[in-house]
């Protein structure tokens, strides 16, 4: 829970991660910032705004110089939070931090809550909620694609899309109200026809935005790729080869993997969560194995991409069609034929002859021969996988929906608009259009979001 938000309290927090470092930065925000800065500089006047100034920092407790560092003074409203703020660039290390914290506390400042600086920036109109969320995403970004998406959202692309829709709705609403006022004068229907066109266009734009199959959300959270196939095909070996480390247990015993094993990899800038699963066979040998198979199929059903792994050297073994088919769909499945090192005839003709033995329902899949054991073909497969992922998740012209919170609001907005379109009385159309606008306003934080703020800013780190 956050306390006395934004009103009165002057807050501070280390902005940099704790630990030994060359420099650490402490950020201050609130009405007492200027006063605190004067005290820290032993009574010297405030330094010129936005200019790095080297200064001796003096303890308010015992008058001792506790460090020599750089201070920056950003008078409000031209600051990140919109309030008076300052930064102290002091030497890294715990004793310096402790001295600074003690002094700031003794001057009546308090430690900031997680996300409190960004929350104040939002409350002073410096950024909208989508931009605030993007700051948290940028801090958390682990791959280049995540960074790009977060940066784009931080620059306001997504917020502008929603604001644009909100303004169009506002305009439609103004016309609707005119319609209602003039109803008695028998204004011809073409006015409302124009409005219906506008609303229909918005419904379509929102539909397209929603139909992105969660690409933006996937990029934020990680794209789910699952390896499935019969026991002993080399699924765990493949996971290890793709990850280039020994994550999953490999053994000659069929039924080695019982549970889902998950790792995160950075696939040419895209965040991928790769999962190894229990082998699928018709007759499970134990209750544990059948539970493992159930989990494997459930995970495959939710995955963004499936890799079906088979022992390419032993395609005569029965492959459970029912089980595999349940887990696959035409568009997002790759077939890996593993153990190519065991083939007697590894020539192109030999591979093709072997592929003829594949059951028909697998023959149309993009097929990759490799050996998880020797590493042969693994890089080519990784490149193909990265290519597939990039094709689906590459940035588009329009900004992508990145959070469930946005999705829910856009869905609600669209539902209101659809209802508006089927209503006849202008009063009812107007009411639904108003509700639709509210739903949009909640995304950027334009309307009643008080209940949302704690949830959104709770996930920030201290100092942001």
Ligand X SMILES: Nc1nc2c(ncn2[C@@H]2O[C@H](COP(=O)(O)OP(=O)(O)OP(=O)(O)O)[C@@H](O)[C@H]2O)c(=O)[nH]1
Task: In whole angstroms, give the CA distance from residue 236 to residue 238.
Answer: 5
Q: Which H helix or E strand runs over 180?
A: helix 157-182
229 vs 463, beta carbon nearer ligand X: 229
Using rule CB under 6 A, residue 209 touches ligand X: no
- Name the one range near ligand X by CB under 6 A: 218-226, 253-261, 296-304, 417-425: 253-261
Kindly state whether residue 237 participates in binding ligand X, applying the rule CB under 6 A: yes
Relative to beta strand 333-338, strand 305-311 is parallel
Residue 232 CB, nearest distance to ligand X (Å)?
A: 4
Out of 33, 338, 354, 402, name the contact with ligand X by CB under 6 A. Answer: 338
Figure out which of the listed residues 136, 372, 430, 436 binds ligand X, where binding follows CB under 6 A.
372
Q: Which is nearer to Mg ion, 235 or 407 (CB)?
A: 235
When CB distances are held under 5 to 8 angstroms depending on the partner's kind, the choice from ligand X, Mg ion, none that residue 362 binds is none
Distances (CA, A) of 316 to 310, 355, 356: 11, 11, 11
Q: Does 26 bind ligand X (CB under 6 A)?
A: no
List residues binding Mg ion (CB under 5 A). Answer: 235-236, 256-257
Closest CA to 51 of 70, 69, 68: 70
290 near ligand X (CB under 6 A):
no
DSSP element (H, E) containing 36: helix 33-40
- The side-by-side arrangement of strands in the sheet containing 261-267 is 261-267, 270-276, 223-228, 305-311, 333-338, 367-369
- Edge-to-edge strand ranges of the sheet holding 53-58: 53-58, 65-74, 85-91, 23-29, 11-14, 110-111
Question: Residues touching ligand X: how many (CB under 6 A)?
Answer: 23
Of 13 and 278, the one with the shorter C-beta distance to ligand X is 278
Question: What is residue 311's three-state secondary structure?
Answer: strand
The answer to whether 373 and 367 are in contact (CB under 8 A) is no
Minimum separation from the CB atom of position 341 to ligand X (A): 5
Contact 111, 12 (CB under 8 A): yes
If one asks whether residue 399 binds ligand X (CB under 6 A), the answer comes out as no
Specify the residue, 59 or 257, whose C-beta has the smaller distance to ligand X: 257
Residue where the block lists tokens 């201050």: 28
| Residue 279 in contact with ligand X, rule: CB under 6 A | yes
Residue 233 contact, options ligand X, Mg ion, none, Cβ 5-8 Å cut-off depending on partner type: ligand X
Give the separation between CA 295 and CA 86, rounded to whole angstroms: 52
Cβ distance to Mg ion smaller for residue 228 or 305: 228
CA distances from 108 to 10, 89, 103, 413 (A): 8, 21, 9, 45
342 binds ligand X (CB under 6 A): yes
Minimum distance from CB of 288 to ligand X (Å)?
Answer: 12
Smallest separation (angstroms) from Mg ion to the CB of 248: 6
Verify binding: residue 377, ligand X, rule CB under 6 A: no
Cα separation, 382 vs 99, whole angstroms:
51
Span near ligand X by CB under 6 A; candidates 151-159, 336-344, 412-420, 448-456: 336-344
> Does residue number 254 form part of the binding site for ligand X (CB under 6 A)?
yes
Binding site for ligand X (CB under 6 A): 231-237, 250-252, 254-257, 278-279, 338-339, 341-342, 371-373
């Amino acid at each position: 829970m956050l306390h006395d938000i934004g009103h009165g309290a002057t807050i501070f927090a280390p902005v940099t991660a704790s630990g030994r470092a060359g420099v650490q930065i402490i950020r201050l925000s609130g009405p007492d910032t200027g006063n605190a800065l004067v005290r820290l500089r032993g009574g010297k006047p405030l330094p010129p705004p936005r200019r790095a100034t080297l200064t001796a920092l003096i303890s308010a407790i015992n008058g001792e110089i506790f460090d020599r560092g750089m201070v920056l003074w950003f008078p409000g409203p031209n600051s990140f939070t919109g309030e008076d703020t300052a930064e102290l660039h002091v030497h890294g290390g715990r004793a310096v931090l402790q001295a600074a914290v003690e002094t700031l506390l003794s001057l009546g400042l308090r430690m900031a809550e997680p996300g409190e600086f960004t929350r104040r920036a939002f409350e002073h109109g410096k950024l909208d909620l989508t931009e605030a969320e993007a700051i948290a995403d940028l801090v958390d970004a682990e791959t280049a694609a995540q960074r790009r998406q977060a940066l784009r959202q931080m620059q306001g692309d997504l917020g502008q899309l929603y604001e644009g829709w909100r303004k169009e709705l506002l305009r439609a609403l103004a016309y609707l109200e005119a319609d209602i006022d003039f109803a008695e004068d028998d204004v011809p229907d073409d006015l409302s026809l124009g409005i219906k066109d506008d609303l229909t266009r918005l419904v379509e734009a929102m539909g397209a935005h929603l139909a992105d199959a969660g690409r933006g959300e996937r990029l934020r959270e990680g794209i789910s790729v699952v390896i499935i196939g019969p026991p002993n095909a080399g699924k765990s070996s493949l996971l290890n080869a793709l990850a280039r480390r020994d994550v999953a247990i490999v053994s000659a015993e069929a039924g080695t993997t019982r549970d889902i094993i998950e790792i995160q990899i950075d696939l040419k800038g895209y965040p991928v969560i790769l999962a190894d699963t229990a082998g699928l066979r018709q007759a499970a040998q134990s209750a544990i194995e059948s539970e493992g198979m159930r989990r494997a199929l459930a995970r495959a059903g939710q995955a963004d991409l499936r890799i079906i792994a088979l022992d390419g050297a032993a395609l005569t073994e029965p492959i459970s069609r029912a089980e595999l088919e349940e887990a696959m769909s035409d568009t997002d499945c790759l077939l890996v034929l593993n153990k190519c090192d065991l083939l007697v005839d590894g020539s192109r003709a030999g591979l093709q002859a072997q592929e003829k033995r594949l059951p028909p329902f697998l023959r149309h899949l993009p097929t990759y021969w490799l050996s998880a054991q020797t590493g042969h073909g693994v890089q080519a497969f990784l490149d193909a996988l990265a290519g597939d992922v990039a094709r689906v998740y590459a940035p588009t012209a329009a900004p992508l929906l990145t959070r469930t919170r946005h999705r829910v609001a856009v869905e609600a907005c669209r539902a209101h608009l659809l209802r508006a379109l089927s209503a006849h009385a202008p009063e009812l159309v107007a009411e639904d259009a108003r509700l639709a606008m509210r739903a949009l306003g909640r995304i950027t934080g334009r309307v009643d979001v008080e209940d949302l703020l704690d949830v959104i800013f709770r996930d920030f780190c201290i100092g942001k």
